[in-house]
Amino acid sequence: MEFRKNDCLSVVIEDMGNDGEGIGKVEGFTVFVKDGIVGDHLLIRLTKIKKNYAYARIEKVEIPSPFRVEPRCPIHRQCGGCQIQALDYAKQLKFKQNKVMNHLVRIGGFEQEKIEQCMESIIGMEEPYRYRNKAQYPVGMDKDGNIITGFYAGRTHVIIPVDDCMIGSEKNAEILNIIKNYMQVNRVSPYDELTHKGQVRHILIRVGQDTDEIMVSLVINGKALPKEEQLIQSLCTIKGMTSISISCNTEKTNVIMGKEIRLLWGSEYITDRIGMVIFRISPLSFFQVNSIQTEKLYGTALEYANLQGGETVWDLYCGIGTISLFLAQKAGKVYGVEIVPEAIRDARENAKLNHMENVTFFVGKAEEVLPEKYESEKIHADVIVVDPPRKGCDQACLDTILKMEPERVVYVSCDSSTLARDLKVLCESIYEIKKITAVDQFCHTTHCEVVVKLERR
Ligand code: SAH
Protein backbone atom coordinates (compact mmCIF):
# COMPACT_ATOMS: atom_id res chain seq x y z
CA MET A 1 0.00 0.00 0.00
CA GLU A 2 1.21 3.53 -0.83
CA PHE A 3 1.17 5.89 2.15
CA ARG A 4 0.73 9.61 1.82
CA LYS A 5 1.14 12.52 4.15
CA ASN A 6 -2.06 13.25 6.11
CA ASP A 7 -3.35 9.70 5.68
CA CYS A 8 -5.36 8.59 8.68
CA LEU A 9 -4.63 5.04 9.88
CA SER A 10 -5.21 2.67 12.78
CA VAL A 11 -2.19 1.35 14.62
CA VAL A 12 -1.26 -0.53 17.80
CA ILE A 13 1.81 0.79 19.61
CA GLU A 14 4.17 -2.14 20.20
CA ASP A 15 7.27 -0.45 21.50
CA MET A 16 8.75 2.90 22.44
CA GLY A 17 11.83 4.49 20.90
CA ASN A 18 14.72 6.14 22.74
CA ASP A 19 13.12 9.54 22.48
CA GLY A 20 9.87 8.32 23.99
CA GLU A 21 7.97 8.04 20.71
CA GLY A 22 5.50 5.18 20.20
CA ILE A 23 6.39 2.62 17.53
CA GLY A 24 3.82 0.64 15.59
CA LYS A 25 3.47 -1.15 12.28
CA VAL A 26 0.92 -0.74 9.51
CA GLU A 27 1.19 -3.57 6.98
CA GLY A 28 4.82 -4.06 7.90
CA PHE A 29 5.58 -0.37 7.54
CA THR A 30 7.06 1.20 10.71
CA VAL A 31 5.43 4.32 12.09
CA PHE A 32 6.85 6.54 14.85
CA VAL A 33 4.00 8.17 16.71
CA LYS A 34 4.60 11.24 18.87
CA ASP A 35 3.07 10.73 22.35
CA GLY A 36 2.09 7.11 21.58
CA ILE A 37 2.26 4.82 24.61
CA VAL A 38 3.11 1.13 24.32
CA GLY A 39 -0.20 -0.78 24.26
CA ASP A 40 -2.27 2.11 22.80
CA HIS A 41 -4.73 1.45 19.96
CA LEU A 42 -4.63 4.68 18.02
CA LEU A 43 -6.01 6.51 15.09
CA ILE A 44 -3.01 8.40 13.72
CA ARG A 45 -2.29 10.94 11.03
CA LEU A 46 0.91 10.64 9.01
CA THR A 47 3.02 13.78 9.20
CA LYS A 48 6.12 12.74 7.26
CA ILE A 49 6.83 9.79 4.96
CA LYS A 50 10.27 8.26 4.45
CA LYS A 51 11.25 5.28 2.31
CA ASN A 52 10.89 2.62 4.99
CA TYR A 53 9.08 4.40 7.79
CA ALA A 54 6.86 7.33 8.63
CA TYR A 55 6.16 9.81 11.41
CA ALA A 56 2.69 10.45 12.76
CA ARG A 57 0.71 12.19 15.45
CA ILE A 58 -2.24 10.96 17.42
CA GLU A 59 -5.64 11.77 15.95
CA LYS A 60 -7.57 9.79 18.57
CA VAL A 61 -6.78 7.31 21.31
CA GLU A 62 -9.22 4.50 20.50
CA ILE A 63 -8.27 2.08 23.27
CA PRO A 64 -5.82 3.54 25.79
CA SER A 65 -2.89 1.42 26.89
CA PRO A 66 -3.05 0.06 30.45
CA PHE A 67 0.18 2.02 30.94
CA ARG A 68 -1.38 5.33 29.91
CA VAL A 69 -1.98 7.70 32.82
CA GLU A 70 -3.50 11.16 33.07
CA PRO A 71 -0.54 13.59 33.02
CA ARG A 72 -0.60 16.24 35.72
CA CYS A 73 0.58 18.90 33.33
CA PRO A 74 -2.10 20.26 30.99
CA ILE A 75 0.40 21.28 28.32
CA HIS A 76 2.79 18.33 28.40
CA ARG A 77 2.16 17.43 24.76
CA GLN A 78 2.96 20.88 23.40
CA CYS A 79 5.84 21.63 25.74
CA GLY A 80 8.10 18.73 24.90
CA GLY A 81 10.01 18.95 28.19
CA CYS A 82 8.43 15.80 29.64
CA GLN A 83 8.23 13.41 26.71
CA ILE A 84 6.74 10.47 28.64
CA GLN A 85 4.58 12.03 31.33
CA ALA A 86 1.58 10.02 30.05
CA LEU A 87 3.45 6.75 30.70
CA ASP A 88 2.91 5.11 34.07
CA TYR A 89 5.93 5.91 36.29
CA ALA A 90 6.85 2.27 37.03
CA LYS A 91 6.84 1.68 33.28
CA GLN A 92 8.98 4.81 32.74
CA LEU A 93 11.61 3.26 34.98
CA LYS A 94 11.52 0.00 33.00
CA PHE A 95 11.81 2.01 29.78
CA LYS A 96 14.98 3.72 31.06
CA GLN A 97 16.49 0.51 32.40
CA ASN A 98 15.94 -1.10 28.99
CA LYS A 99 17.35 1.89 27.14
CA VAL A 100 20.59 1.66 29.14
CA MET A 101 20.73 -2.11 28.64
CA ASN A 102 20.17 -1.79 24.88
CA HIS A 103 22.91 0.79 24.50
CA LEU A 104 25.40 -1.33 26.39
CA VAL A 105 24.57 -4.37 24.27
CA ARG A 106 24.23 -2.69 20.87
CA ILE A 107 26.86 0.05 21.10
CA GLY A 108 29.13 -1.36 23.79
CA GLY A 109 29.09 -4.87 22.34
CA PHE A 110 28.60 -6.47 25.77
CA GLU A 111 26.75 -9.75 26.23
CA GLN A 112 23.16 -9.18 27.33
CA GLU A 113 23.56 -11.83 30.03
CA LYS A 114 26.64 -10.11 31.45
CA ILE A 115 24.82 -6.77 31.60
CA GLU A 116 21.79 -8.35 33.24
CA GLN A 117 24.04 -9.86 35.91
CA CYS A 118 25.68 -6.52 36.69
CA MET A 119 22.61 -4.32 36.49
CA GLU A 120 20.96 -3.37 39.76
CA SER A 121 17.41 -2.04 39.98
CA ILE A 122 16.97 1.46 38.66
CA ILE A 123 16.56 4.01 41.47
CA GLY A 124 13.34 5.93 40.94
CA MET A 125 11.59 8.63 42.99
CA GLU A 126 8.80 8.06 45.46
CA GLU A 127 7.17 11.30 44.38
CA PRO A 128 8.32 11.95 40.81
CA TYR A 129 7.00 15.53 40.63
CA ARG A 130 8.27 18.91 41.86
CA TYR A 131 11.84 17.66 41.79
CA ARG A 132 13.68 20.29 39.78
CA ASN A 133 15.66 22.80 41.82
CA LYS A 134 16.25 25.03 38.79
CA ALA A 135 13.94 26.61 36.21
CA GLN A 136 14.60 28.95 33.33
CA TYR A 137 11.47 30.61 31.99
CA PRO A 138 11.54 32.59 28.74
CA VAL A 139 9.56 35.84 28.85
CA GLY A 140 7.36 37.04 26.00
CA MET A 141 4.12 38.75 25.07
CA ASP A 142 0.84 37.27 23.89
CA LYS A 143 -1.39 38.66 21.12
CA ASP A 144 -3.28 40.85 23.59
CA GLY A 145 -0.11 42.50 24.85
CA ASN A 146 0.04 40.58 28.14
CA ILE A 147 3.42 39.57 29.44
CA ILE A 148 3.77 35.81 29.55
CA THR A 149 6.30 33.32 30.90
CA GLY A 150 6.40 29.68 29.98
CA PHE A 151 8.28 27.12 27.98
CA TYR A 152 9.22 26.80 24.35
CA ALA A 153 7.02 24.39 22.40
CA GLY A 154 9.13 21.37 21.42
CA ARG A 155 11.89 22.38 18.93
CA THR A 156 10.57 25.94 18.47
CA HIS A 157 10.90 29.31 20.12
CA VAL A 158 7.16 29.81 20.53
CA ILE A 159 6.36 30.37 24.20
CA ILE A 160 3.55 28.31 25.67
CA PRO A 161 2.40 30.22 28.73
CA VAL A 162 2.67 28.24 31.95
CA ASP A 163 3.79 29.45 35.36
CA ASP A 164 3.48 26.27 37.31
CA CYS A 165 5.55 23.48 35.81
CA MET A 166 4.70 20.21 37.57
CA ILE A 167 8.32 19.08 37.80
CA GLY A 168 9.45 22.45 39.17
CA SER A 169 9.08 24.17 42.52
CA GLU A 170 5.69 25.38 43.73
CA LYS A 171 7.37 28.72 44.46
CA ASN A 172 8.04 29.44 40.78
CA ALA A 173 4.51 30.65 39.98
CA GLU A 174 4.49 33.19 42.80
CA ILE A 175 7.89 34.56 41.76
CA LEU A 176 6.91 34.80 38.09
CA ASN A 177 3.69 36.62 38.96
CA ILE A 178 5.57 39.22 40.96
CA ILE A 179 7.98 39.82 38.09
CA LYS A 180 5.24 40.00 35.45
CA ASN A 181 3.29 42.40 37.60
CA TYR A 182 6.37 44.61 38.07
CA MET A 183 6.96 44.56 34.32
CA GLN A 184 3.37 45.46 33.48
CA VAL A 185 3.22 48.32 36.00
CA ASN A 186 6.58 49.79 34.98
CA ARG A 187 6.20 49.12 31.27
CA VAL A 188 9.24 46.91 31.14
CA SER A 189 9.11 45.05 27.85
CA PRO A 190 9.88 41.38 27.24
CA TYR A 191 12.70 40.64 24.84
CA ASP A 192 11.84 39.86 21.22
CA GLU A 193 14.27 37.49 19.51
CA LEU A 194 13.31 38.56 16.00
CA THR A 195 13.92 42.28 16.45
CA HIS A 196 16.54 41.92 19.23
CA LYS A 197 14.57 44.60 21.10
CA GLY A 198 12.95 44.58 24.51
CA GLN A 199 14.42 43.95 27.93
CA VAL A 200 13.64 40.82 29.94
CA ARG A 201 14.76 37.62 28.20
CA HIS A 202 14.61 34.87 30.79
CA ILE A 203 13.99 34.35 34.47
CA LEU A 204 16.22 31.91 36.31
CA ILE A 205 14.93 30.52 39.58
CA ARG A 206 16.88 28.16 41.85
CA VAL A 207 15.57 26.75 45.09
CA GLY A 208 17.71 24.91 47.64
CA GLN A 209 15.99 21.57 48.13
CA ASP A 210 17.26 21.21 51.68
CA THR A 211 17.65 24.86 52.70
CA ASP A 212 14.65 26.44 50.91
CA GLU A 213 16.90 29.33 49.92
CA ILE A 214 15.72 31.03 46.73
CA MET A 215 17.75 32.64 43.95
CA VAL A 216 16.18 34.77 41.21
CA SER A 217 18.16 36.10 38.29
CA LEU A 218 16.61 38.18 35.51
CA VAL A 219 18.42 37.83 32.23
CA ILE A 220 18.12 41.15 30.44
CA ASN A 221 19.08 42.67 27.13
CA GLY A 222 20.88 45.62 28.72
CA LYS A 223 22.54 46.66 31.95
CA ALA A 224 19.74 47.73 34.28
CA LEU A 225 15.98 47.81 34.76
CA PRO A 226 13.81 50.76 35.79
CA LYS A 227 12.72 50.91 39.46
CA GLU A 228 14.85 47.97 40.50
CA GLU A 229 14.09 48.83 44.14
CA GLN A 230 10.41 48.13 43.57
CA LEU A 231 11.18 44.74 42.06
CA ILE A 232 13.47 43.86 44.97
CA GLN A 233 10.88 44.88 47.53
CA SER A 234 8.16 42.72 46.06
CA LEU A 235 10.44 39.70 45.56
CA CYS A 236 11.61 39.98 49.16
CA THR A 237 8.09 39.30 50.37
CA ILE A 238 8.69 35.66 49.40
CA LYS A 239 9.93 33.50 52.26
CA GLY A 240 13.41 32.16 51.65
CA MET A 241 14.46 34.84 49.14
CA THR A 242 18.26 34.88 49.36
CA SER A 243 19.75 36.19 46.15
CA ILE A 244 18.40 38.54 43.48
CA SER A 245 20.54 39.42 40.50
CA ILE A 246 20.61 40.67 36.93
CA SER A 247 22.37 38.72 34.24
CA CYS A 248 23.30 40.94 31.29
CA ASN A 249 22.95 39.20 27.96
CA THR A 250 22.91 41.58 25.00
CA GLU A 251 24.05 39.01 22.43
CA LYS A 252 21.95 37.51 19.64
CA THR A 253 22.23 34.00 20.96
CA ASN A 254 20.38 30.92 22.15
CA VAL A 255 22.56 30.80 25.24
CA ILE A 256 20.31 31.81 28.10
CA MET A 257 22.58 33.34 30.72
CA GLY A 258 24.86 36.31 30.12
CA LYS A 259 28.40 36.06 31.46
CA GLU A 260 28.12 39.14 33.66
CA ILE A 261 26.07 38.92 36.85
CA ARG A 262 25.16 42.01 38.86
CA LEU A 263 23.85 41.40 42.35
CA LEU A 264 20.75 43.45 43.16
CA TRP A 265 20.08 42.21 46.66
CA GLY A 266 21.21 39.60 49.16
CA SER A 267 23.87 36.99 48.69
CA GLU A 268 25.71 36.13 45.47
CA TYR A 269 24.83 32.50 45.91
CA ILE A 270 22.44 30.13 47.65
CA THR A 271 23.53 27.05 49.54
CA ASP A 272 22.13 23.56 49.40
CA ARG A 273 23.04 20.33 51.08
CA ILE A 274 23.47 16.92 49.52
CA GLY A 275 23.97 14.23 52.12
CA MET A 276 26.43 15.72 54.61
CA VAL A 277 28.04 18.12 52.15
CA ILE A 278 27.11 21.80 51.73
CA PHE A 279 27.38 23.50 48.35
CA ARG A 280 27.45 27.09 47.23
CA ILE A 281 25.50 27.59 44.02
CA SER A 282 25.92 30.74 41.91
CA PRO A 283 23.66 31.74 39.00
CA LEU A 284 26.15 30.32 36.50
CA SER A 285 27.15 27.13 38.35
CA PHE A 286 26.30 23.69 37.08
CA PHE A 287 24.40 21.87 39.80
CA GLN A 288 22.44 18.64 39.37
CA VAL A 289 18.78 19.64 38.94
CA ASN A 290 17.32 16.92 41.14
CA SER A 291 18.86 17.15 44.62
CA ILE A 292 16.96 14.20 46.09
CA GLN A 293 18.17 11.82 43.40
CA THR A 294 21.63 13.36 43.33
CA GLU A 295 22.22 12.14 46.85
CA LYS A 296 21.41 8.63 45.66
CA LEU A 297 23.54 9.05 42.55
CA TYR A 298 26.62 10.28 44.41
CA GLY A 299 25.97 7.72 47.17
CA THR A 300 26.12 4.97 44.55
CA ALA A 301 29.29 6.46 43.03
CA LEU A 302 30.86 6.54 46.50
CA GLU A 303 29.82 2.95 47.18
CA TYR A 304 31.29 1.83 43.84
CA ALA A 305 34.55 3.67 44.57
CA ASN A 306 34.80 1.38 47.62
CA LEU A 307 37.12 3.69 49.55
CA GLN A 308 38.86 2.52 52.70
CA GLY A 309 40.46 5.83 53.69
CA GLY A 310 43.92 6.07 52.17
CA GLU A 311 43.17 6.14 48.47
CA THR A 312 44.15 8.71 45.89
CA VAL A 313 41.15 9.52 43.72
CA TRP A 314 40.85 11.61 40.54
CA ASP A 315 37.44 13.11 39.79
CA LEU A 316 37.35 14.18 36.14
CA TYR A 317 34.70 16.64 34.88
CA CYS A 318 34.15 17.67 38.51
CA GLY A 319 32.03 20.84 38.03
CA ILE A 320 31.76 22.66 41.37
CA GLY A 321 33.37 19.67 43.07
CA THR A 322 30.19 17.90 44.07
CA ILE A 323 31.38 14.31 43.57
CA SER A 324 34.94 15.25 44.64
CA LEU A 325 33.72 16.41 48.05
CA PHE A 326 31.48 13.41 48.42
CA LEU A 327 34.51 11.18 47.79
CA ALA A 328 36.78 13.28 50.01
CA GLN A 329 34.69 12.20 53.00
CA LYS A 330 36.20 8.73 52.61
CA ALA A 331 39.39 9.09 50.53
CA GLY A 332 42.98 9.99 51.42
CA LYS A 333 43.29 12.58 48.66
CA VAL A 334 41.01 13.75 45.86
CA TYR A 335 42.02 15.69 42.73
CA GLY A 336 39.29 17.33 40.65
CA VAL A 337 39.57 18.51 37.04
CA GLU A 338 37.09 20.82 35.33
CA ILE A 339 37.18 23.05 32.25
CA VAL A 340 35.13 26.01 33.57
CA PRO A 341 37.27 28.32 35.76
CA GLU A 342 34.26 29.72 37.67
CA ALA A 343 33.19 26.20 38.59
CA ILE A 344 36.63 25.50 40.01
CA ARG A 345 36.45 28.72 42.02
CA ASP A 346 33.16 27.43 43.48
CA ALA A 347 34.69 24.00 44.02
CA ARG A 348 37.52 25.50 46.09
CA GLU A 349 35.01 27.55 48.10
CA ASN A 350 32.93 24.44 48.67
CA ALA A 351 35.95 22.53 49.95
CA LYS A 352 36.64 25.36 52.44
CA LEU A 353 33.01 25.57 53.46
CA ASN A 354 33.07 21.87 54.35
CA HIS A 355 36.51 22.05 56.01
CA MET A 356 37.89 19.51 53.57
CA GLU A 357 41.62 19.88 53.13
CA ASN A 358 42.32 16.71 51.20
CA VAL A 359 41.09 18.04 47.84
CA THR A 360 42.94 19.90 45.08
CA PHE A 361 41.30 21.26 41.95
CA PHE A 362 42.74 21.95 38.51
CA VAL A 363 41.24 24.07 35.73
CA GLY A 364 41.57 22.52 32.29
CA LYS A 365 40.38 19.84 29.93
CA ALA A 366 40.37 16.37 31.45
CA GLU A 367 41.97 15.05 28.25
CA GLU A 368 44.83 17.54 28.65
CA VAL A 369 45.36 17.85 32.40
CA LEU A 370 45.42 14.12 33.11
CA PRO A 371 47.93 13.16 30.36
CA GLU A 372 50.15 16.18 31.21
CA LYS A 373 50.23 15.31 34.90
CA TYR A 374 50.82 11.68 34.08
CA GLU A 375 53.70 12.39 31.66
CA SER A 376 55.40 15.02 33.82
CA GLU A 377 54.73 13.83 37.37
CA LYS A 378 53.82 10.17 36.89
CA ILE A 379 50.73 10.76 39.04
CA HIS A 380 48.99 7.74 40.48
CA ALA A 381 45.34 6.95 41.12
CA ASP A 382 43.69 4.14 43.03
CA VAL A 383 40.29 5.16 41.73
CA ILE A 384 39.27 7.42 38.84
CA VAL A 385 35.75 8.81 38.68
CA VAL A 386 34.49 10.41 35.47
CA ASP A 387 31.24 12.33 35.00
CA PRO A 388 31.52 13.79 31.49
CA PRO A 389 28.90 15.81 29.59
CA ARG A 390 26.71 14.02 27.04
CA LYS A 391 29.43 13.63 24.46
CA GLY A 392 31.37 11.36 26.80
CA CYS A 393 35.13 11.14 27.40
CA ASP A 394 37.78 12.16 24.92
CA GLN A 395 39.96 9.32 23.60
CA ALA A 396 43.09 10.93 25.13
CA CYS A 397 41.40 10.83 28.53
CA LEU A 398 40.51 7.13 28.16
CA ASP A 399 44.05 6.36 26.93
CA THR A 400 45.56 7.97 30.02
CA ILE A 401 43.19 6.12 32.34
CA LEU A 402 44.35 2.88 30.69
CA LYS A 403 48.00 3.87 31.22
CA MET A 404 47.42 4.83 34.85
CA GLU A 405 45.66 1.53 35.53
CA PRO A 406 43.66 2.54 38.61
CA GLU A 407 42.18 -0.39 40.51
CA ARG A 408 38.67 0.92 39.90
CA VAL A 409 36.98 3.32 37.51
CA VAL A 410 33.57 4.72 38.37
CA TYR A 411 31.80 6.11 35.32
CA VAL A 412 28.87 8.45 35.95
CA SER A 413 26.99 9.24 32.75
CA CYS A 414 23.97 11.22 31.62
CA ASP A 415 24.00 9.60 28.18
CA SER A 416 24.10 5.83 27.98
CA SER A 417 25.05 5.77 24.29
CA THR A 418 28.39 7.53 24.81
CA LEU A 419 28.81 5.60 28.06
CA ALA A 420 28.54 2.36 26.08
CA ARG A 421 31.06 3.58 23.51
CA ASP A 422 33.60 4.52 26.22
CA LEU A 423 33.10 1.34 28.26
CA LYS A 424 33.84 -0.64 25.12
CA VAL A 425 37.28 0.99 24.93
CA LEU A 426 38.01 0.45 28.62
CA CYS A 427 36.75 -3.14 28.70
CA GLU A 428 38.48 -4.23 25.49
CA SER A 429 41.63 -3.37 27.38
CA ILE A 430 42.02 -4.13 31.09
CA TYR A 431 38.68 -3.38 32.74
CA GLU A 432 35.60 -5.38 33.53
CA ILE A 433 32.10 -4.14 34.39
CA LYS A 434 31.13 -5.14 37.91
CA LYS A 435 28.01 -3.15 38.64
CA ILE A 436 25.60 -0.80 36.89
CA THR A 437 22.89 1.35 38.43
CA ALA A 438 20.59 3.76 36.61
CA VAL A 439 19.25 6.65 38.68
CA ASP A 440 16.15 8.50 37.53
CA GLN A 441 17.20 12.12 37.90
CA PHE A 442 14.83 13.40 35.23
CA CYS A 443 11.39 11.83 35.84
CA HIS A 444 8.92 12.10 32.90
CA THR A 445 11.71 12.77 30.42
CA THR A 446 13.49 10.02 28.50
CA HIS A 447 16.80 10.70 30.25
CA CYS A 448 18.47 9.18 33.28
CA GLU A 449 21.88 8.99 34.93
CA VAL A 450 23.91 5.78 35.07
CA VAL A 451 26.75 4.79 37.40
CA VAL A 452 29.08 1.95 36.44
CA LYS A 453 31.74 0.28 38.52
CA LEU A 454 34.70 -1.07 36.57
CA GLU A 455 37.49 -3.15 38.06
CA ARG A 456 40.93 -3.90 36.67
CA ARG A 457 41.08 -7.50 35.50
N1 SAH B 1 30.41 16.01 38.40
C2 SAH B 1 29.77 17.29 38.39
C3 SAH B 1 29.62 17.90 36.98
C4 SAH B 1 29.17 17.01 35.90
S5 SAH B 1 28.65 17.82 34.42
C6 SAH B 1 28.42 17.21 39.08
O7 SAH B 1 27.86 16.14 39.24
O8 SAH B 1 27.91 18.25 39.49
C9 SAH B 1 30.06 17.74 33.40
C10 SAH B 1 31.09 18.80 33.70
O11 SAH B 1 32.16 18.60 32.78
C12 SAH B 1 30.62 20.24 33.50
O13 SAH B 1 30.92 20.95 34.66
C14 SAH B 1 31.47 20.74 32.32
O15 SAH B 1 31.83 22.09 32.44
C16 SAH B 1 32.69 19.86 32.41
N17 SAH B 1 33.47 19.63 31.17
C18 SAH B 1 33.02 19.59 29.90
N19 SAH B 1 34.01 19.25 29.07
C20 SAH B 1 35.12 19.06 29.83
C21 SAH B 1 36.47 18.66 29.55
N22 SAH B 1 36.86 18.42 28.31
N23 SAH B 1 37.33 18.55 30.58
C24 SAH B 1 36.92 18.81 31.87
N25 SAH B 1 35.68 19.19 32.18
C26 SAH B 1 34.78 19.31 31.18
Ligand 1 atom with the shortest distance to the CA of 365: 23
Ligand 1 atom with the shortest distance to the CA of 315: 1
308 burial level (CB within 10 Å; 0-12, 13-18, 19+): exposed
Q: pLDDT grade, residue 285 (50/70/90)?
A: confident
Whether 123 contacts 296, CB under 8 Å: yes
In sequence order, what are the residues at sequence separation of 6 or more whose Cβ sits closer than 8 angstroms to the Cβ of residue 361?
318, 321, 324, 335, 336, 337, 338, 344, 347, 348, 351
For ligand 1, atom 16: residue with the closest CA? 317
118 has catalytic annotation: no
Ligand 1 pocket test, pick from 280, 285, 318 with the greatest ligand atom count within 8 Å of Cβ, gives: 318
For ligand 1, atom 5: residue with the closest CA? 389
Q: pLDDT grade, residue 158 (50/70/90)?
A: confident
Ligand 1 midpoint to CA 318 (Å): 5
Ligand 1 midpoint to CA 388 (Å): 5
For residue 244, the model assigns a pLDDT of 98
* pLDDT beyond 90 at 267: yes
For residue 65, the model assigns a pLDDT of 98
The set of protein residues with a Cβ atom below 6 angstroms from ligand 1 is: 286, 288, 317-319, 322-323, 337-340, 343, 365-367, 387-389
Ligand 1 midpoint to CA 226 (Å): 37
Q: Which of 82, 248, 393, 414 is catalytic?
A: 414
Ligand 1 midpoint to CA 76 (Å): 30
DSSP line for 106-117: HTT---HHHHHH
Question: Rounded to an integer, what distance in angstroms lies between the CA atom of residue 21 and that of residue 35?
Answer: 6
Q: What percent of the chain has pLDDT over 70?
A: 100
Question: Rounded to an integer, what distance in angstroms lies between the CA atom of residue 340 and that of residue 322?
Answer: 14
For ligand 1, atom 12: residue with the closest CA? 319
Taking residues 190-214, report their average pLDDT. Answer: 96
Q: pLDDT grade, residue 163 (50/70/90)?
A: confident
For residue 153, the model assigns a pLDDT of 84
Ligand 1 midpoint to CA 71 (Å): 33
Ligand 1 pocket test, pick from 293, 317, 398, 447 with the greatest ligand atom count within 8 Å of Cβ, gives: 317
Q: pLDDT grade, residue 421 (50/70/90)?
A: very high
For residue 154, the model assigns a pLDDT of 74
Q: Which of 311, 354, 304 is nearest to 335 (CA)?
A: 311
For residue 218, the model assigns a pLDDT of 98
Q: pLDDT grade, residue 78 (50/70/90)?
A: confident
Strand blocks (E) in 99-211: 134-141, 147-152, 159-161, 200-207
Ligand 1 pocket test, pick from 290, 339, 395 with the greatest ligand atom count within 8 Å of Cβ, gives: 339
* pLDDT beyond 80 at 179: yes
Ligand 1 midpoint to CA 192 (Å): 32
For ligand 1, atom 10: residue with the closest CA? 317
Ligand 1 atom with the shortest distance to the CA of 323: 1
- Partners of 360 in the beta sheet? 335
Q: pLDDT grade, residue 362 (50/70/90)?
A: very high
Q: What angle do CA 209, 211, 217 make, to 5 degrees?
A: 75
Q: pLDDT grade, residue 174 (50/70/90)?
A: very high
Centroid of chain to Cα 292:
14
Ligand 1 midpoint to CA 316 (Å): 7
Ligand 1 midpoint to CA 162 (Å): 31
Instruction: Give counts: helices (H), strands (E), the chain.
Output: 11, 21
For residue 205, the model assigns a pLDDT of 98
For residue 301, the model assigns a pLDDT of 98
